[in-house]
Chains A and B, each alone.
Chain A
Amino acid sequence: MACQVTVPSTRERVSAHDADPAPAAPRPPRRAGGLLDRWGSLVLPLVAFLLVVFVLPLAFVLAQSFTEPEPGLQNYTDFFGSPVYLDVLANTFRIAGMVTVVTLLLGFPYAYLMTLAGPFWRGVLMVAVLVPFWTSLLIRTFAWVLMLSDTGVINTVLREIGLISEPLPLLRNLTGVLIGMSQVMLPFAVLPMYATMRSVDRRLVQAAEGLGATPLQAFWRVYAPLTAPGVAAATLLVFVSSLGFYVTPALLGGPGDVMIGELIAKQLSGVLRWGFASALAIALLVVTGLLLALVARFVDLRRMLGGAR
């Protein structure tokens, strides 16, 4: 589900090191001919691991998209020639964008609250945000079905206390998808923002107030801009991870809320069009990559993912 995200972030982190703007410090002498020094060679097993579980399968998928069921481009022409499939792609980006907005709006104040809380409440808030990591995605999604359906917990309670007479449509539509996905993605928004907020020097806010800024101005002009790297990291992480969802939209969404992940799963398990499924996956990967490249032109990805400091 979140495998795409490891691509841009790891790559950016690794390259951030090479492009460090600091003046070249005298390096310890390297062994003749060695590409990696003694410590560098420790990452070799990891490189091998990534090669086996990530690069090779990806190459296989790429090859398959051009060869199954027969060599040629027809998988791609099918995809880009059909408005239905393109709608699914657009829908995927639309939903991922909306989930990103929702999690940021919820996650920013949540992370801020964590920085203000004392040790006990900070612990409570941290556990609360981490709970989704400790329960299976499937179980959580079914739990949402129980919560959101017409006879589910929420609608029943609202009807009992007389706030509504007809059940609210919370399931099998966009609302359901947004609720379910946002809950899953919330930790990915909260954690990077909290990490950045914790490193922001509080004394700067105080200094701003001493210079005549009201507490609100000090927050928005000094504190908030300094949390930008965390917000950017959260945005990227949530958005890219959201693109790959399929269980949640499949169970909580309606027919109009199909995401590309669901489409890929159907091609694989339902109609066994392996080549077409591969083409869909590659298309998602490429479009995501292009989008990131576009973002990178305007913001410093390295900086916002905490690479260069």
Chain B
Amino acid sequence: MNETIAALAGTGASIDVQGISKRYRDTTALDDVSLQVKAGEFITLLGASGSGKSTLLNIIAGFIEPTSGRIEVAGKDITTVPPYKRDLGMVFQHYALFPHMDVWENVAFPLRRRKVARAEVERQVRQALDVVELGRLAKRRPSELSGGQQQRVALARAIVFRPRALLMDEPLGALDKRLREQLQLEIKRLHSELGTTFVFVTHDQEEALAMSDRIAVLRDGALVQVGTPEELYERPSSRYTAEFLGESNIFTGHHRGARFIDATTKADLAVGETGDCAGALVLRPEHAHLAAPGSDIPIGHNVLNGVVRDVIYLGSGLRVEVTLPDGRAIVSRPAARGRYTPEPGTGVLVHWHAERALVVPDHPSVAP
């Protein structure tokens, strides 16, 4: 299979989104979004429903005209180029397979439109179907395929003409969890073997973290932050990103010097960075350690008293919810068989290294 996929490999193009805005009569779907996608990169547009992901993808594809801004592909301005001349592959959540054509004809469609010679069409369609392992279903109609198979046909159809980039709008959104995870792997493999630029849209942060080279977080039509999954997870630039990606414990309060004063309890916590602003303290559950009351706490750690409320066994570890004296909850994810075993209803110390917690502005800031 690797030889066939190599035959379809192409060089991806860079995509340069410059100050794109899209306004409808009473909504702003996109507000001055700029984003540089490198050639061959797997970038994910991540955001809640209605955040403008589809609008941005459709503007790149040419289906929607932006109110202002420019789109460049491989350094060329294509803002006014019609979609059929853009040479970008597109995969939709609703598959968009042509119901009156069988699988083979569907995949051959983009080649036929490009007037590829008959023998060559034959060869490339077979290759594309082999890549998605659907060669034996070539004569089936889309309606005779399962959702996962249909989406694989759509993938084959989108890569068969070696597009300069592949755009995917929540391609796995209609599939069940197991199939989704399987296709995530296949798409990831496809990306590394094709070497083409992938722009992937999802509202599922786990999917984004698992698949992407970089993630662009959108909120209400504005870009909140762009970065690698690790950057976004470990150094969110706003409370929104911190809450959207992964689980986090958040305290609101004031950042003063190297201290953070919690707004409700006035607890004085050490933090790594210095600053002076209202903000939110972000503590990831895996950095929140637990210890029996009275045990020694490492130097440089903050400590809070609490009561274990709930312990869930997750296989790889535990998820422990601790109630603080003021009623708020803190989530911790210790290893399953650590030295200390939390018991619901008993007192506990929650502690974390000052450097492990992060202070972010309480409202989203636009990434530089």
Contacts and interface: CB of A to CB of B under 8 A. Distances in A.
B25 to A, nearest CB: 14
Given A206-B63, A210-B63, A226-B99, A217 B90 contact: no
B161 A212 contact: yes
A292 B72 CA distance: 57
B157 interface: yes
Nearest to B94: A203
Nearest to B114: A212
Interface in B106-143: 109-110, 113-114
B98 A208 contact: yes
B109 A210 contact: no
B87 interface: yes
Contacts of A222: 98
Nearest to A212: B113
A207 B92 CA distance: 8
B88 interface: yes
B84 A212 contact: yes
Contacts of A215: 82, 84
B96 A212 contact: no
B170 to A, nearest CB: 14
Contact of B90 (A207, A213, A218, A228): A207
A244 B177 CA distance: 59
A206 B91 CA distance: 12
Contacts of A204: 96, 98-99
B61 A210 contact: yes
B88 A210 contact: yes
Contacts of A211: 84, 89-90, 109-110, 113, 157-158, 161
A201 B96 CA distance: 9
A206 B83 CA distance: 9
B100 A203 contact: no
Contacts of B161: 211-212
Contact of B100 (A212, A217, A218, A225): A225
Contacts of B89: 210-211
B84 A209 contact: yes
A304 to B, nearest CB: 13
A294 B110 CA distance: 36
Given A203-B92, A203-B94, A217-B113, A210 B99 contact: no
B193 to A, nearest CB: 21
A10 interface: no
Interface string A218-251: 1001100110100000000000000000000000
Nearest to B106: A211
Contacts of B110: 211-212
A214 interface: yes
Contacts of A210: 61-63, 83-84, 86, 88-90
B95 to A, nearest CB: 9
B116 to A, nearest CB: 10
A217 B96 CA distance: 16
Contacts of B158: 211
Interface string B69-83: 000000000000011
A301 B161 CA distance: 37
A95 B47 CA distance: 61
Interface of B: 61-63, 82-84, 86-90, 92, 94, 96, 98-100, 109-110, 113-114, 157-158, 161
Pairs of residues from A and B, 7 with the lowest C-beta to C-beta distance, nearest first: A207-B96, A212-B113, A211-B110, A210-B90, A209-B83, A225-B100, A209-B84
